[in-house]
Amino acid sequence: KGPLPLDEALRIARQIADALEAAHEKGITHRDLKPGNIKIKPDGTVKVLDFGLAKVGRAAGASGENSPTLTMGMTEAGMILGTAAYMAPEQARGKEVDRRADIWAFGVVLLEMLTGVSSFAGETVSDTLASVLKSDPNFARLPADTPASVRRLLKRCLERDRRNRLHDIADARLEIDA
């Protein structure tokens, strides 16, 4: 429905980061973070829902929205699980994922909140997956007054190589707070 004002988008993003941080601290990777799984209550409280594709692993410390959720097979590596437009590149390739896949999806959601458009939409699921794998996010659509710190956060969340991506959602939360 269009971009959100920066303050509102960051307020929502902060609460999403809190929810992901709580899950990650319990060793849970959501694997299907998307706007349809984020609800805002009338009092402004944000809830992250639908952990149906979540993966439980080691505890921490240890529009495209309409693209279908893919649930081919079980949850082992080599199977594609999630919603195409919000998948991290490694997830789209069917590789093993960790919390950095949620950080990618967080970046996609935040970019979409700020621009009002899907970053990786395609005509078909295959086109959307190809876009995730090959297209760069369109940072040029960010409002001109988007602070450099928010641009930097988005770029760190949306690093195609997960080794260069933020490693912990708490870092995103700290950036938003700063």
Contacts of 98 (CB under 8 A, 6+ apart): 29, 57, 162
β-partners of residue 24 are none
**Maximum Cα–Cα distance across the chain:** 44
- Long-range residue pairs from 131-139, CB within 8 A, at least 24 positions apart, any chain: 131/85, 132/84, 132/85, 132/87, 132/88, 132/89, 132/92, 133/89, 133/92, 133/93, 137/107, 137/108, 137/111, 139/111
Burial group, residue 29, by CB count within 10 angstroms (0-12, 13-18, 19+): buried
Catalytic-residue membership of 32 = yes
Q: Which of 18, 32, 50, 177 is catalytic?
A: 32
What residues act catalytically? 32
